[in-house]
A and B are shown apart, each in its own frame.
Chain A
Amino acid sequence: MISSNLSAIFYLISGVLFILALRGLSSPETSRQGNLFGILGMIIAVTVTFLSIGNFSNGFIFVIIFILLGGSIGAFIAYRIPMTAMPELVAGFHSLVGLAAVFVAISAFLNPEAFNLGTTGNIKLGSLIEMSIGAAVGAVTFSGSIIAFLKLQGIMSGSPITFKGQHPLNAIILVSIIVLIYFLCSTQSSNLFWILLIISFLIGFLLIIPIGGADMPVVISMLNSYSGWAAAGIGFTLENTALIITGALVGSSGAILSYIMCKGMNRSFFNVILGGFGGATEDAGTISTKEQKPVKSGNADDAAFLMKNASSVIIVPGYGMAVAQAQHALREMVDTLKKNDIKVSYAIHPVAGRMPGHMNVLLAEANVPYDEVFELEEINNDFANADVAFVIGANDVTNPVAKTDPQSPIYGMPVLDVEKCKSVLFVKRSLSPGYAGIDNDLFYKENTLMLFADAKKMTEDITKNL
């Protein structure tokens, strides 16, 4: 058994190591080292916990059993998961953090002596407040992430689910959570604690169902943030510095990512949270205008011809590339282009895909060197000088309407200036609008050639024709 002062210092060290883990991600070279810092921090925190309890009696063997059980499940998932499923995986992991926070809060509530928080039915006021906040946020994170997971996995429809009185209902529930915490703290009643958990689960569910598929990057980041605040709440209860530091880091990390994602769509955070965007506007209005405008469509042969005669090509990947698993086929096409001395770069919009950085991971998986991949601000001026833009699976993020039509729902959203290229190749299955539910003007431009096919198949065919 080690003194509580010494263990507090070790918890501080592991908190610092977690900061270094995030710091490492500022560049790919230092990132692997950063991850090792994170692992080291975790090992220190767990070891110190064992040493400070100093109880290696019967219970210890069960702790080890459950660690091995969870560890093997986690490792199995980590090695088997395809990179295209990262958004689902991250949503699933968030739900586990939330549920773990709830469980820890429950056991602290049932057995406060073990945590040094007073006795059952007479828990220290401060601890009880922290505990209920941690439990409530954890419960919201859990049920919210489950819904996000189901939507990403396609088990639940990605279109927003809205009903009358939704916002007032949510507001009432949120207020009642605060009232419940107040009464819970004054009465110490365990019934109120269970009710608090149940309605927190409910509100997490209700908050996420009205949010549409294309807003998932914001939702995932937001839940990431919540899982951090839940951990911090529990950290206050347990008076544990490692947890408080980590909770604050994760909480602010998720908040920043949500902000970046919202900015990438030019929408306010509240606008996303209130939900209902996309799908609702997708009515018959767009279909009638479609017929009037001519579209040039081509095949793999035409596309290969255009690219062969180009000197520089910019590739714009989007969610469709992930769905079609076309990243490897794309890399092969680019290899062929490079052999012909054609300069190729990749342009990534901040909200391309279903989570922050989604496209970058897929390209990295296909062995695309990260110094050929550029962010929107870095590459947007290069479109004017490029010969061919190859849009694969992206749609709304290339729509010039965002710059020209103040009436459009996506007006003001930063978009890639794809239309400035000499010619645009647009791989898409049909002319259907993207998630924002609006028509893309790019389809009808003089210099656009539509390639109607599955992204992977089309890319392979082009490679054959090069």
Chain B
Amino acid sequence: MEIDPLIFRLSIFILSIFVGYYVVWSVTPSLHTPLMSVTNAISSVIIVGAIIAGLSGNSDSVFNTSSIFGFLAIALATINIFGGFLVTQRMLAMYKKKKKEKK
């Protein structure tokens, strides 16, 4: 008997929860704010669904109700992707070690 593909996706999901669990516990507490902003950015990979939706219009009309929601979702997700990664970059650039040499 064949296994439903859903089971495979469920397996990936459950294993990823465990990966997430161990990876996040090893994040140093001083980087918890960047952790939140970067998780924000990566969860916006939901843009892949938005792009599919946005390109779902046919050659007659680019816009139908479904694709309009897709376009809006693209805009929201890219705000997050750019905003999230860039603000994380900005924060991480500030974490510096004690300077050993004198200036």
**Interface residues, chain A, CB within 8 Å of chain B?**
11, 14-15, 18-19, 21-23, 25-28, 31-32, 34-35, 38-39, 41-42, 45-46, 49-50, 53, 55, 57-60, 62-63, 66-67, 69-75, 77-79, 81, 83, 86, 89-90, 93-94, 96-97, 99-101, 103-104, 106-108, 110-111, 113-115, 126, 220-221, 224, 227-228, 231-232, 234-254, 256-257, 260, 348, 350, 355-358, 360-361, 364-365, 367, 369-373, 375
Contact = CB atoms under 8 A, between A and B. Distances in A.
Contact of B74 (A32, A63, A356): A63
A1 to B, nearest CB: 12
A323 B103 CA distance: 32
Given A28-B95, A86-B33, 19 more contacts: A23-B26, A25-B38, A28-B30, A28-B92, A60-B55, A78-B83, A90-B40, A100-B73, A107-B50, A107-B65, A111-B56, A227-B40, A231-B43, A236-B6, A249-B20, A350-B29, A357-B31, A364-B94, A375-B30
B21 A220 contact: no
A163 to B, nearest CB: 31
A234 B49 CA distance: 8
The 3 A-B pairs with the shortest beta carbon distances in the complex, nearest first, are: A70-B78, A357-B32, A74-B82
Contacts of B69: 103-104, 106-107, 110
A251 B36 contact: no
B12 to A, nearest CB: 5
Given A49-B52, A253-B20, A107 B88 contact: no
B12 A241 contact: yes
B48 A355 contact: no
Contacts of B86: 74-75, 78-79
20 contacts: A18-B45, A26-B26, A28-B92, A34-B38, A50-B51, A77-B83, A100-B44, A100-B46, A103-B50, A104-B49, A110-B66, A110-B69, A114-B52, A239-B5, A240-B49, A248-B16, A252-B20, A357-B36, A358-B33, A365-B94
A424 B95 CA distance: 28
A133 to B, nearest CB: 13
B97 to A, nearest CB: 6
Contacts of A86: 33, 37, 87, 91
A256 B85 CA distance: 21
Contacts of A23: 23, 26
B85 to A, nearest CB: 5
Contact of A31 (B34, B40, B65, B75): B34
B41 A42 contact: yes
A97 B92 CA distance: 22
Interface residues of B, number: 83
Contacts of A115: 49, 52-53, 56
**Main secondary structure on A side of the interface with B:** helix
Interface in B58-85: 59, 62, 64-67, 69-85
Contacts of A58: 57, 59, 62
A220 B36 contact: yes
Given A41-B42, A42-B42, A247-B43, A126 B55 contact: no
A350 B28 CA distance: 12
B43 A107 contact: no
B84 to A, nearest CB: 6
A75 B78 CA distance: 9
B29 A107 contact: no
B7 to A, nearest CB: 11
Contacts of B92: 28, 31-32, 35
B36 A62 contact: no
Given A32-B89, A63-B55, A19 B23 contact: yes
Given A18-B45, A248-B20, A253-B20, A370 B35 contact: no
A179 B43 CA distance: 28
Contacts of A220: 36
B28 to A, nearest CB: 6
Contact of A63 (B12, B44, B54, B96): B54
Nearest to A366: B94
A77 B37 CA distance: 13
B43 A246 contact: yes
A355 B33 contact: yes
B70 to A, nearest CB: 5
B93 interface: yes
Contact of B80 (A93, A241, A245, A252): A93
